[in-house]
Amino acid sequence: MNPEERHIFSVLVENRFGVLARVAGLFSGRGFNIDSLNVAETHDKSISHITLVTHGDAQIIDQIYQHLNRLIDVIEVTDLSTAGTHVERELVLIKIATDDPRKRTEILQVAEVFRGRVIDMKPASIVLEITGDEGKLKAAIDIFNTYGILELSRTGKIAMLRGSEK
Partner 1 sequence: MELSGAQILVDGLKREGVEYIFGVNGGAAMPIFDALYGETEIKLIPMRHEQGASHAADGYARATGEVGVALATSGPGATNLVTGIATAYMDSIPMVAITGQVFTHYIGSDAFQECDVIGVTRPICKHSYLIKSSDEIADVVAEAFHIAKTGKPGPVIIDIAKDAQKNKALFEYPETVDIRSYKPQVHGDPDQIAKAAALIKEAKRPMLYAGGGVVLANASEELRQLTLNTQIPITVTLMGLGAFPETHPLAMEMPGMHGSCCANYAFTDSDLVIAVGARFDDRVTGDLSKFAPNAKKIHIDIDASCIGKNVPIDVPIVGDAKNVLTELNKQVSTADIDPWRAQIQEWKQKYPFEYEQKSDVVMPQYVIEKIYEHYSDAIVVADVGQHQMWAAQYFKFTEPRQWLNSGGLGTMGFSLPAAIGAQLGCPDKTVVNINGDGSYIMTIQELVPAVTMQLPLKIFIINNMYLGMVRQWQELFHGKRYSAVDYHDNPDFALLAQAFGATGLRVEHPDDVEPALQKAKGITDGPVVIDFIVDEEENVFPMVPAGKGLGDVIRGLS
Positions touching partner 1 (CB under 8 A) are 13-14, 18, 21-22, 25, 29, 59, 62-63, 66-67, 69-70, 72-75
Nearer to partner 1, 69 or 105 (CB): 69
CB of 42 to partner 1, least distance (A): 14
Nearer to partner 1, 67 or 103 (CB): 67
Phi, psi of 23 (to 5 degrees): -65, -45
Q: Are 129 and 119 in contact (CB under 8 A)?
A: yes
Nearer to partner 1, 67 or 136 (CB): 67
CB of 11 to partner 1, least distance (A): 11
Nearer to partner 1, 21 or 119 (CB): 21
CB under 8 Å to 83, separation ≥6 — which residues? 161, 165
Nearer to partner 1, 16 or 117 (CB): 16
Cα Rg, the chain, nearest whole Å = 19
CB of 117 to partner 1, least distance (A): 38
DSSP string spanning 91-132?
Answer: EEEEEEE--SHHHHHHHHHHHHHTT-EEEEEETTEEEEEEEE
CB of 56 to partner 1, least distance (A): 13
- Cα dihedral across residues 34, 40, 45, 49: positive or negative: negative
Phi, psi of 38 (to 5 degrees): -135, 130
CB of 28 to partner 1, least distance (A): 9
